[in-house]
Amino acid sequence: MSKIPLQFRHNGREVAIFVDGGTNLLVALRELIGDMTPKFGCGQGGCGACSVLIDGALHLSCLTLAETVAGRSVETLDGIKQGPQLHPLQRAFMENFAAQCGYCTPGMLMAAKALLDRNPQPSRAEVVEAISGNICRCTGYEPIINAVLAAASGGRASA
């Protein structure tokens, strides 16, 4: 049999699965682990709906060969809540009407988190750059950019 064992950290929890050769991380997360938060929008790297963090860095799960995350840490939208509390980015997206159909939202939030984790007070241009690999076809980018900026300044205010 050609199944390959694969073990990694998924939102802080050790998981072990068997994948077919060539399986991408998006399929592994959705179909084998059952984490439906990363979305399929293209399978080509073009939309960013499948964005996840691997060891804290933004990656496209559809273009990541599943085996390459062995022993590493994968974080998806499902892991960013703090207990029952929404992450400041999630709250800011809600308050700023930063989603319509919501399909890009998981990827947008992960791209935004990758930015804020490393740069808690980004400029507008840095926010634009950070979400430049994520396509939103409904909302328009203004509310999304505003939400990320609001989350950043909100974080500062409460810190």
Partner 1 sequence: MLELRKDIFADERDDNLKEIGKGTQRQDMLGHVTGTSTYFDDHKLQGMLHMKVLRSQHAHARLRRIDTAEAERSQGVRRIIRGADVPRNLNTLLSLINFGKDDEPSLAVDKVRYKGEPIVAIVADSPREAHEAMAKVRVDYEPLPAVFDVEDALKPGAPVVNEVYPKNTFIYHDVYDHQKLRFGDADRALAGADHVLEQRYQMSPIEHAPTETNGSIAAPDTNGRYVVYTSTQALFFSLDTSAKILDVPSNTFHFVGGTVGGGFGGKVDTLTEPLCILGAMLTGRPVRYVLGREEEMQFGSPRGAERIYLKDGVMRDGRIIARKVRAYFDSGAYTRLSSYAVVKCVAHLPGPYTIPNVHGDVYCVFTNRTPATAMRGFGVTAMDFAIECQMDKLAHLVGMDPMEFRILNAYRDGDMKAHRREAKNCALIECVQVAAEKSKWTLREEFRRMSSRKDGGGGRAAIPATPGETRPRPTAPAQQRTAYDRSLAAPLNEPPREPPPPPPSPPQPAAPSHGATRFSSVFGTRRR
Partner 2 sequence: MPVIVKSFTNAGEAAAALSSEREARYLGGGTLVMRALNEGDISISTIVRATDAAMTRIDATGSRVTIGASVTFARILAERDLAFLHAPARSIGGPAVRNMGTVGGNLFAPIPYGDFTVALLALDATVAIQGSFGGRDMPLDEFLQARERQGGALVLSVSFPRIAGESFRYRKVARIQPKGGSVITLAAHLPVSSGRIAGARVALGSMAPVPTRARAVERALEGRALDAATIAAAAAAATEGTSPGDNALASAWYRREIVGVHLRRLLSGQE
Ligand X SMILES: Cc1cc2nc3c(=O)[nH]c(=O)nc-3n(C[C@H](O)[C@H](O)[C@H](O)COP(=O)(O)OP(=O)(O)OC[C@H]3O[C@@H](n4cnc5c(N)ncnc54)[C@H](O)[C@@H]3O)c2cc1C
Site for partner 2 (CB under 8 A): which residue of 11, 90, 105, 134?
Answer: 134
Nearest-approach distance from CB 107 to partner 1, in angstroms? 9
- 49 touching ligand FES, by CB under 6 A: yes
Terminus-to-terminus CA distance in the chain, angstroms?
53
Contacts of 92 (CB under 8 A, 6+ apart): 98, 147, 148, 150, 151, 154
Site for partner 1 (CB under 8 A): which residue of 72, 81, 124, 156?
Answer: 81
DSSP string over 29-48: IIIII----S--S-SSSSS-
- 50 touching ligand FES, by CB under 6 A: yes
In the complex with ligand FES, the residue whose CB is nearer, 67 or 120, is 67
**86, 80 Cβ separation under 8 angstroms:** no
- 147 touching ligand FES, by CB under 6 A: no
- 137 touching ligand FES, by CB under 6 A: yes
In the complex with ligand X, the residue whose CB is nearer, 21 or 45, is 45
- 117 touching partner 2, by CB under 8 A: no
Interacting span for ligand FES (CB under 6 A) from 2-10, 15-23, 135-143, 145-153: 135-143
Residues that bind partner 1 (CB under 8 A): 20, 22, 30-31, 34, 36-37, 39-44, 46-47, 49, 76-78, 81, 86, 90-91, 93-94, 97, 99-106, 109, 135-138
Residues that bind partner 2 (CB under 8 A): 2, 4, 20-24, 43-45, 48, 51, 57-60, 62-65, 67-68, 111, 114-115, 128-134
